[in-house]
Amino acid sequence: MIKFLDLQKINAQYADALKQAAAEVIDSGWYLLGERVKRFEKHLAEYIGIRHAIGVGNGLDALRLILKAYIELGVMQEGDEVIVPANTYIATILAITDNRLKPVLVEPDINTYNLDISLVEQHITERTRAIMVVHLYGQVCWSSELKRIAKKYRLKIIEDNAQAIGAEWEGRKTGALGDAAGFSFYPGKNLGALGDAGAVTTNNDQLAEVVRALANYGSRQKYVNEYRGLNSRLDEMQAAFLDVKLRFLDAENQRRREVAAYYCEHITNPDIILPIRNFTLSAVEGQQSAIRNLKSHVWHLFVIRHPKRNALQKYLTENGIQTLIHYPIPPHKQLAYKDWDEIIMPLTSQIHWQAVSLPISPIFTFEEIHKVVGFLNSFSS
Ligand SMILES: *Cc1c(COP(=O)(O)O)cnc(C)c1O
């Protein structure tokens, strides 16, 4: 069977280094708030090209903590609005509602699946304080228009960078584009820990300090609590693992790009809608643009659409190819948000019933990709 994502095989590549790292942490006798977290934070900040990286417990907490810090700093208050794409993973929305802020759902662009920036301005009210962009499936969601809007209305731009670590926009990495960003190192993400882990990045010294305190019971100094914080820390073990894997991230992302390019070139079934890269839409020319174009996506997921998605998925399963759906139910249709049942989001709904994610991973063999493409092309509905 071709697995959707074979984590055992991915991590087996680094087994020796990971075991060595684990042994060092065990022997050190120091498991939280130590040297390994500091070292990983430094390496992550250098990699992203930003002043501060703060290790936290997971990706959801990274986003929660950013918003909580803005509330502590008086930038936002309860009931303020945050603009967010309607088709994101539910964690983005949970981070907002958990802080008693109001998510304002905006439809995605059906071509890129990212927030439709041209719809943002009409959703801005007096209570809007931030735009939460999600680099969904690994593709940058950014434009000069977005920056212009944020500046005009004095909004913070917060990046949900859970899926796009390593992606770039005009030579700058996601996670360094907006005012603050949340990262997830959930095992299945492009940079995956061996358990839960996350990080916040920002160039804002004050914000970084408050996030760090909030993640540690609201305390900067032991037993002195300035804020009503959480306990959401990156631990030494995960930091040590992540430090090993960060070194291979660019190579892994490059391999994902190669798999994606092969899929795009060889899937010829006319009923299949392939993913569209945002920069290919604006007829770019020349070497510079081509490079930029390449780096705007790190292919966390390779999502296609098909009018008979369920039948296609069944056919692939029967032929030993595991696929997943990202995501079967949009946030506004979840029981957790039953008050929003009246909201109508046609494009979001369309994506949720047509999309299916193909296996994509840095260790995918040519034979495996070839087999997947063969079945996709032979499927007739
Ligand atoms: C994975 C993910 C999160 C949450 O990260 P966790 O580490 O699982 O808490 C948030 N947003 C998006 C878009 C994600 O894909």
Q: Ligand 1 test: best mutation among 60, 136, 161, most atoms within 8 Å of CB?
A: 60
Alpha carbon distance 181, 191 (integer Å):
15
Q: Is residue 291 over pLDDT 50?
A: no
Q: What's the rounded mean pLDDT across residues 42-60?
A: 98
Q: Are 190 and 249 in contact (CB under 8 A)?
A: yes
Closest CA to 135 of 8, 282, 300: 300
**What type of residue sits at position 149?**
I
Question: Using 50, 70 and 90 to split pLDDT, how confident is the model at 65?
Answer: very high
**361: DSSP letter:** -
Question: How much of the chain, in percent, has pLDDT values that exceed 70?
Answer: 96
DSSP string computed for 290-349: HHHHHHTB--S-EEEE-TTHHHHHHHHHHTTB--B-S-SS-GGGSGGGGGGTT---HHHH
Answer yes or no: are the C-beta atoms of 45 and 212 closer than 8 Å: no
- Measured in Å, residue 162 CA sits from the centre of ligand 1 at 5
pLDDT digits (tens, 9 = 90+) for 212-240: 999 999 999 999 999 999 999 999 999 99
What confidence tens digit (pLDDT) does each residue in 140-159 have? 999 999 999 999 999 999 99
Q: Which residues contact ligand 1 via a Cβ below 6 A?
A: 58-60, 88-89, 91-92, 134, 160, 162-163, 184, 186, 196, 198
Mean pLDDT of the chain: 95
Residues 78-100: b if buried by 16+ CB within 10 A, e if exposed: eebbbbbbbbbbbbbbbbbeebe
Residues 101, 80: contact at Cβ < 8 Å? yes
Instruction: Using the atom order of ligand 1, give the atom closest to the CA of residue 163.
Output: 15
Per-residue pLDDT of 19-37, as tens digits, reads 999 999 999 999 999 999 9
